[in-house]
Amino acid sequence: MTNPKPVKLAIVYYSTYGTNHQMAEVAAEAAREAGAEVRLRKVRETAPQEVVNTQDAWKAQQERTADIPEATPDDMEWADAYLFSSPTRFGGAASQVRAFIDTLGGLWATGKLANKTFSAMTSAQNPNGGQETTLQTLYFTAMHWGSIIVTPGYTDPAIFASGGNPYGASVTATGQPLSEEDKASIRHQVRRLVEITQNLKG
């Protein structure tokens, strides 16, 4: 019996100051350890460069991740599974993420986003800063695509230890490295996503 083909996972993120970049990196490492083939992609910055340049931390994050490719529709067509990570902006995903999603109409119209698994992660400055609504609105988008939503639920103690969000990993952005509890939650979520996707692939 031959080994099944590895799950192809596209991790798509936006990060202003670095939190969601950290989350995406942890997820990519865990996914590779679980046997997945991973494309780590950032969405294109849509804020004017002169605005980015006015904030040292924002500009530094841009420079730190200059070598990470930008997400394209090709990455979405290639993947079996999607993991999106976005900061919360007024209860929803960052406009940069929404701008990328708005480029996917052609793939949606031809059914090329359907029947693929989808999971999401987020961050905000405080625990009640809109994490749950951000994840839910991303899942609403996935429903329109016909994707299969895979949330962590309460399927591992790591979910409770990191704050107890069953919709997806949610981090309080402090400007510091991620806690071990947050990392464990992310790792569980992505392992579950890879496992369920592999089961669906057969």
Q: What is the C-alpha to C-alpha distance for residues 141 and 100, in angstroms, rounded to an integer?
A: 12
- Residues 34-56: tens digit of each pLDDT: 999 999 999 999 999 999 999 99
CB 120 within 8 A of CB 168: yes
Residue 26: phi, psi to the nearest 5? Answer: -60, -45
Q: Indicate the pTM of the whole model.
A: 0.96
Measured between its terminal Cα atoms, the distance across the chain in Å is: 13
Q: Is the pLDDT of residue 3 over 70?
A: no
- CATH T-level fold of 8-201: Rossmann fold (3.40.50)
- Predicted confidence (pLDDT) per residue in 154-180, tens digit: 999 999 998 889 999 999 988 889 999
pLDDT in tens, 184-194: 999 999 999 99
- Range name among 9-18, 86-95, 171-180 with the lowest pLDDT average: 171-180
Q: Which residues, other chains included, contact 29 with Cβ-Cβ below 8 Å and sequence gap of 6+?
A: none
Q: Is there a contact between 38 and 111 (Cβ–Cβ < 8 Å)? A: no
pLDDT of 183 strictly over 70: yes
Longest Cα separation, the chain: 58
pLDDT number for residue 127: 80
User: Can you spell out the DSSP letters for 31-86?
Assistant: HHHTT-EEEEEEPPP-S-HHHHTT-HHHHHHHHHTTTSPBP-HHHHHH-SEEEEEE
Query: In which band, very low, low, confident or very high, does the pLDDT at 1 lie, cut at 50, 70 and 90?
Result: very low
The dihedral formed by the CA atoms of 96, 102, 103 and 107, expressed in degrees to the nearest 10: 140
- Average pLDDT of the residues in 72-99: 97
Residue 149: other Cβ atoms inside 10 A: 15
Mean per-residue pLDDT of the chain: 95
Question: Encoding tokens for residue 73?
Answer: 């529709």
Question: What pLDDT sits at residue 36?
Answer: 98
The yes-or-no verdict on residue 9 having pLDDT over 60 is: yes
Measured CA to CA, the distance from residue 87 to residue 92 in angstroms comes to 8
Q: What is the dihedral of CA 181, 185, 186, 189, to 10 degrees?
A: 170
Map tokens 């500009």 to a residue.
59
Radius of gyration of the chain (CA): 16
What pLDDT was estimated at residue 126? Answer: 85
